[in-house]
Structure 1
Amino acid sequence: MFNPADFPEPTLVPVNGVELEVFEAGPRKGGKPVVLCHGWPEHAYSWRHQIPALAAAGYHVIVPNQRGYGNSSRPAEVTDYDIEHLTGDLVALLDHYGYQDATFVGHDWGAMVVWGLTLLHPDRVNKVINLSLPYQERGPKPWVEVMEAALGGDFYFVHFNRQPGVADAVFDENTFRFLRNLYRKNVPPAEPRPGMALIDLARAETPLGDPVMSDSELAVFVSAFASTGFTGSVNWYRNLDRNWHVLAAADPIIRQPTLMIYGDRDVVRKSEKLAEFVPRVEVVNLDCGHWIQQEKPEETNRAMTTWLAQQDAGQ
């Protein structure tokens, strides 16, 4: 079991008009930076199992709490959480450490940011590893509009945009219960019910399935969100259509070597068109749900370090 005392001490790094809380491990002078980008509602701590494995493999591991999370800045304006700002933070983080480029690893929303970073700043990304969320094709209509038509107003992406502040307030009131109920695996399938599923989850008395992490690990996430609230992190969702507009001029093809790691039981669907937009992709499927690197840490570490070693050997 992971010992929380082993997690690196953070530093606050000024970037792009904000400060990011950053955790580091591994050799700084090796010239092999790997930046790990968490998802929602997560924290740099979600990479606790990967940090020592990557550091032991000789990488300089850089793990920010992205804006809106942990002790990083939480700007008040919704638009301060669009893809330009989120990727600008990561570019500035590379500048801070003196790196021209790095390997970027993302899970969930972190994967969305890494895909966007690779499109907007391709010269700063040498390799991509993304977990759970595949490349999202930019279709003719903005994403929230498409989701609303297909999935309805209670789908959480749509709800976050159309009813700002409503869900955040429920999450804030039920921080422990929401995160305890969300970080589960082996959850039995259930018929969809009317209403906003995540609000129902935050209020549910009894969690389903099995816990993804120990009580002491969960306490790190609960403490962080009890301090920050959820609005900054939910604001990422409120920029989805703005991001669609920002990415209009970008070349839509990811040209870097890419590793895509899926959980076979993840509710996020796999992409049938991934290789069209990410022609240099290799795919690994693990027998787990959404919280891939926390549910299957050893398998995730093996997949990442093996692939990185192969890529490094081929350069």
Structure 2
Amino acid sequence: MNSAQNATDFPEPTIISLNGIELEVFEAGRQNAGNPIVLCHGWPDLAYTWRHQVPALVNAGYHVIAPNQRGYGNSTHPSDVTAYDVAHLSGDLVALLDHYGYKEATFVGHDWGAMVVWSLTLLHPTRVNRIICLSLPYPVRGEVPWLEFMETVLGSDYYFVHFNREPGVADAVFDANPARFLNNLYRKNEPLSTPQLGMTMIEIAHTTTPPGEPLLSDHDRAVYASTFEASGFTGGINWYRNFDRDWHLLADVDPVIHHPALMIYGDRDAVQQAENLTAFVPNVEEVRLDSGHWIQQERPEDTNRVILEWLNRDKTAATSDE
């Protein structure tokens, strides 16, 4: 990718052609072939977000596969906005399994990556054996499309809605100074807040006094900044621009996920926790950590412990059921 990222212990990338695009994939633990776990980042993030989890998972016996998903890094950035819906994003993950010769895998997702993992499990249930989601709980599909509902409740300036109604505006703001935007966004020890009205992301991009403390090291900030300076932010924002399309795409699937699932919340995350997750994910275990939104980066040791303990328990339970 870039010299900053390659200088770390994070795996070297490989470009893989699949599903009509190219994905930049970071792979580790090939010696553990047969025990795959796929790590799915959110926005505006990278496979690099899992740098603290990759060694722990490899040491625990997993073949770790972490793509920069479409629209990110050196993966393909399609020009068609509809190429970023959950059908395409989950299709990339299915094709990734096919590339490595796996029928199924464990999937881990954070933020928008969690949205993709939930959707993948609904659309391709036989390709998933268990799931771990961080921050974003199962997105219940109500009677009104998600974006329309958000606009009614939170207004047309709410950033989800703004990304859709004013295409290109936020992209240009973020692209103008990626280093400042990312430093302002990636914070820790922030005070707990609820979803804010207005275009909060643009405000974050412009502020000179971000709350909390910087989350990223100088090196990590360089990795993120250099990557988004090269790629821009539009590819990732286009995921948001399919929110209502995703609602329609999921209309005819069984909404209940029966797979073993782990849901990890940050108690100081502005993303709301689910009130009754078991109604749609009956085999879920929910864990809360003293963390903001960037759980796996802010609390890496706790995150690794929770994930590995749950994987071991689920493995033991599966063995006892055989």
**TM-score (norm. length: structure 2):** 0.95
Letter in 2 for 1:12: I
| Partner secondary structure for residue 177 of structure 1 | helix
Q: Which moved more, 1:63-72 or 1:27-36?
A: 27-36
Give 1:75's aligned amino acid: P
Which of 20, 24, 47 aligns to 2:50? It is: 47
In the alignment, the residues of structure 1 paired with residue 53 and residue 265 of structure 2 have an alpha-carbon distance, to the nearest angstrom, of 16
8 Å CA contact retained: 1:33, 1:61 = yes
Is 1:217 equivalent to 2:220 in the alignment?
Answer: yes
Q: State the 1:70 CA deviation.
A: 0.6
Task: Give the alignment partner of residue 258 of structure 2, picking from 255, 261, 285.
Answer: 255
Could you list the runs of 5+ residues in structure 1 that have no partner in the other structure?
none
Matched, 1:113 2:111: no
Secondary structure of the residue aligned to 2:222 is helix
Q: Confirm or deny: 8 A CA contact 1:27 1:58 kept in the other structure.
A: no
1:35 counterpart SS class: strand
Correspondent of 1:271 among 247, 269, 274: 274
What TM-score, normalized by structure 1, do the two folds share?
Answer: 0.97
User: Cα deviations across residues 22-72 of structure 1 (Å, max 9, x unaligned)?
Assistant: 001113554110000000000000000000000000000000000000110
Query: What is the aligned-residue RMSD (CA, Å)?
Result: 1.6
> Which secondary structure state, in structure 1, belongs to the residue aligned with residue 151 of structure 2?
helix
Amino acid at match of 1:111: A
SS in 1 for 2:250: helix
CA displacement, residues 258-305 of structure 1 (integer Å, 9 cap, x when unaligned): 000000000000001200000000011100100000000000001111
Aligned residues: 314
Taking a change above 3 Å as real, the CA distance of residues 238 and 281 of structure 1, as seen in their structure-2 partners, is same
Amino acid at match of 1:114: V
Partner residue of 2:78?
Answer: 75
Distance (whole Å) between structure 2 residues aligned to residue 26 and residue 190 of structure 1? 39
Give 2:247's aligned residue.
Answer: 244
4 and 307 in structure 1: CA distance in 2 versus 1, 3 angstrom threshold: farther
Structure 1 97/198 Cα, relative in aligned 2: closer, same or farther at 3 Å?
same
Letter in 1 for 2:289: L
Deviation of the 1:206 alpha carbon: 2.6
**Alignment partner of 1:176 is 2:185:** no
Runs (4+) of structure 1 exceeding 3 A deviation are 27-30, 188-195
Could you tell me which amino acid in structure 1 is paired with residue 52 of structure 2? H
Aligned to 2:95: 92
Percent of pairs identical after alignment? 64
8 A contact 2:159–2:200 mirrored in 1:
yes
Q: Which moved more, 1:242-251 or 1:190-199?
A: 190-199
Amino acid of the residue matched to residue 278 of structure 1? V
- Cα distance in 1 between the residues matched to 2:195 and 2:113: 26
Alignment partners' CA distance in 2, 1:191 and 1:258: 26
CA distance in 1, matches of 2:296, 2:48: 11
CA 1:307–1:154 in structure 2 vs 1: closer, same or farther (change >3 Å)?
Answer: same
Shift of the 191–234 alpha-carbon distance from structure 1 to 2, 3 Å rule, reads closer
CA 1:28–1:100 in 2, change beyond 3 Å: closer, same or farther? farther
1:107–1:132 CA contact under 8 A, matched in 2 = yes
Between 80-89 and 193-202, the greater mean CA deviation after superposition:
193-202
Write the letter of the residue equivalent to 1:280: N
1:83-127 CA distances to partner (integer Å, 9 max, x unpaired)? 110000000000000000000000000000000000000000000
Partner of 2:233: 230
CA displacement at 1:191 relative to structure 2: 9.1
**Distance of 1:255 and 1:131 partners within structure 2:** 18
Partners of 1:286 and 1:194 lie apart in 2 by 26
> Which deviates more from structure 2 when the two are superposed, residues 303-312 or residues 53-62?
303-312
Gaps of 5+ in 2: none
**Does the 8 Å CA contact 1:132/1:261 hold for their aligned counterparts?**
yes
